[in-house]
Amino acid sequence: MQIFINDTACECPENSSISQILMQQNISAQNIAIALDNTVIPKKQWATTYVTAGCHLLIIQAVQGG
């Protein structure tokens, strides 16, 4: 099925959780926040939150700086 990660279309298997998608896309789970269709998903829920066709994941990476 097709989903969007940071507005880029991606293919992923049906019944994929956020954690599975991160692994499939080789995205490190460290220092990131994720919103699914404009709702922030707590990290402890990534393994049990499943995406549907056409959904939008927004992945924001924290960076240090000053």
Domains of the chain and any CATH numbers:
2-61 (3.10.20.30)
pTM to 2 decimals?
Answer: 0.90
**Chain mean position to CA 23:** 10
Residue 66 has pLDDT above 80, yes or no: no
Q: Distance between CA 6 and CA 48 in Å, rounded?
A: 21
The pLDDT tens digits of the residues spanning 49-63 come to 999 999 999 999 988
Using CA atoms in the order 33, 38, 42, 44, what is the torsion angle rounded to 10 degrees? -100
| Residue 31 backbone class (left: φ over 0; alpha: ψ -120 to 50; beta: rest) | left
The pLDDT tens digits of the residues spanning 10-43 come to 999 999 999 999 999 999 999 999 999 999 999 9
Q: What is the pLDDT of residue 63?
A: 81
Burial category of 26 from C-beta neighbours within 10 Å (exposed 0-12, middle 13-18, buried 19 and up): exposed
